[in-house]
């Protein structure tokens, strides 16, 4: 046994709060999904309540209610005034089932597909999504209606307000007459464009199951006279002509560069001279270590897809190699931007 005296421990010059924050963040999303399932936000929509009142209404112990509302408040979704918890504006817009921008679909997805250490490690080592290739996962939406419905609802819940922002903040949409919304999901971007720009007609190109779902969303918003659907596979089937713009939201991040270049060339071939391509994505900084949401979403892509989030420079490279010119970017909402370019 070594009996030599060890020198006194020197405290590190930086403390360990960052590690505590990362470790404890593991509990934040499940706490939020639990709050949603318990009906916390819908309850507080009726009236502000104390922690004790919330415990009684939600049938929780005082200790459980204290932990639940404390975390949700610290995350910025509740605020206390006079001992009562009130919804913040963020919660009112994105966490109330009565809100048109309710994130419920995404929260349900989070409950259904928990992320573990083993799953992340496997994705990193295999460089392969957990459900097989992205092509196989995409085809599942054609074969399994319930998966298509759940995924479409999740994407709609996090994207409709992004579509409204893009429609209002990208000036070039005012000059577009016919737009092809490639793999447009629920049609939320086309719906927003039709509501904002009376001259525009949009077609949502999607798999058959998803196109059927999109027609329901389109009818719900009353724009079926200017938004239609086309059942097609964006890689295998021909793209229709007669459009002066192609729009792709959250598509490029699902695929590796060769597939992204292929989509770019398909858009180039389908568009006339002067036609626009619009790519709606969460951009990374040139250093690829910011924003945290962007590079973390690249880890999400490791887990679910074959793609990643990209920098503006990477998009410019893909677009110019695909034949487009005059590449520019417009920040639209939150972390999102539209990268746009024209066919010369």
pLDDT of residue 22: 94
Place of tokens 């005296």: 5
Supply the DSSP string of 82-121, one letter for each residue: TTEEEE-HHHHHHT-TTSTT--HHHHHHHHHS---HHHHH
Q: What's the CATH fold of domain 131-342?
A: Rossmann fold (3.40.50)
pLDDT of residue 240: 96
- Could you tell me the CA-to-CA distances from 166 to 22, 193, 272 in Å, in that order? 32, 8, 23
pLDDT of residue 146: 86
CA diameter of the chain: 85
Burial 88-104, CB ≥16 within 10 A → b, else e = beebbebbbeebebbbb
pLDDT of residue 162: 97
Q: What is the pTM of this model?
A: 0.91
Q: Give the C-alpha separation, 314 to 311, whole Å.
A: 5
* Residue 119 and residue 126 in contact, taking contact as beta carbons nearer than 8 Å: no
pLDDT of residue 125: 87
Q: Considering the chain, tell me which residue range(s) the CATH 3.40.50.150 domain(s) occupy.
A: 131-342
pLDDT of residue 144: 81
Q: Which of 273, 280, 200 is nearest to 241 (CA)?
A: 273
- Could you tell me the CA-to-CA distances from 92 to 31, 41, 108, 125, 307 in Å, in that order? 18, 8, 18, 40, 33
Place of tokens 């887990």: 303
pLDDT in tens, the chain (344 residues): 566 788 888 889 999 999 999 999 999 999 999 999 999 999 999 999 999 999 999 999 999 999 999 999 999 999 999 999 999 999 999 999 999 999 999 999 999 887 888 888 888 888 877 655 555 655 655 658 888 898 999 999 999 999 999 999 999 999 999 999 999 999 999 999 999 999 999 999 999 999 999 999 999 999 999 999 999 999 999 999 999 999 999 999 999 999 999 999 999 999 999 999 999 999 999 999 999 999 999 998 888 888 999 999 999 999 999 999 999 999 999 999 999 999 99
* Half-sphere exposure (Cβ direction) of 333: Cα atoms closer than 13 Å: 14
pLDDT of residue 155: 94
pLDDT of residue 192: 98
> Radius of gyration (Cα) for the chain, nearest Å?
23
Burial 201-237, CB ≥16 within 10 A → b, else e = bbbbbbbebbbbbbbebbeebebeebbbbbbbebeee
Q: Considering the chain, tell me which residue range(s) the CATH 1.10.10.10 domain(s) occupy.
A: 22-105
| CATH 1.10.10.10 describes domain 22-105 | yes
- Residues 99, 188, 196: CA angle, nearest 5 degrees: 90
């Amino acid at each position: 046994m070594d009996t030599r005296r060890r020198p006194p421990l020197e405290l590190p010059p930086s403390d360990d709060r960052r590690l505590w924050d990362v470790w404890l963040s593991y509990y934040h999303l499940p706490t939020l999904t639990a709050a949603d399932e318990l009906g916390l936000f819908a309850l507080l929509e009726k009236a502000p309540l104390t922690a004790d009142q919330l415990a009684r209404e939600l049938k929780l112990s005082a200790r459980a209610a204290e932990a639940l509302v404390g975390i949700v408040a610290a995350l910025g979704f509740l605020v206390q005034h006079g001992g009562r918890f009130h919804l913040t504006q963020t919660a009112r817009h994105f966490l109330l089932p009565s809100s048109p921008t309710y994130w419920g679909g995404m929260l349900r997805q989070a409950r259904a597909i928990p992320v573990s250490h083993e799953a992340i490690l496997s994705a990193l080592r295999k460089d392969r999504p957990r459900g097989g290739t992205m092509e196989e996962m995409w085809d599942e939406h054609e074969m399994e209606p319930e998966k298509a419905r759940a995924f479409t609802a999740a994407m709609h819940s996090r994207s409709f307000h992004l579509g409204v922002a893009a429609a209002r903040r990208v000036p070039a949409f005012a000059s577009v007459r016919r737009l092809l919304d490639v793999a447009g999901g629920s049609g939320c971007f086309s719906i927003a464009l039709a509501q904002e720009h009376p001259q525009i007609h949009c077609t949502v190109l999607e798999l058959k199951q998803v196109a059927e779902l999109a027609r329901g969303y389109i009818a719900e918003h009353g724009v079926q006279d200017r938004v239609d659907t086309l059942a097609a596979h964006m890689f295998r089937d021909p793209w229709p002509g007669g459009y002066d713009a192609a729009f792709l939201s959250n598509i490029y991040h699902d695929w590796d560069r060769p597939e992204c270049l292929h989509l770019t060339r398909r858009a180039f071939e389908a568009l006339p001279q002067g036609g626009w391509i619009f790519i709606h994505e969460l951009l990374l900084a040139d250093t690829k270590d910011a924003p945290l949401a962007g590079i973390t979403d690249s880890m999400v892509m490791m887990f679910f897809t074959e793609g990643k989030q990209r920098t503006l420079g990477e998009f410019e490279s893909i677009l110019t190699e695909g034949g487009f010119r005059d590449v520019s970017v417009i920040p639209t909402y939150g972390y999102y931007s539209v990268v746009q370019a024209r066919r010369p």
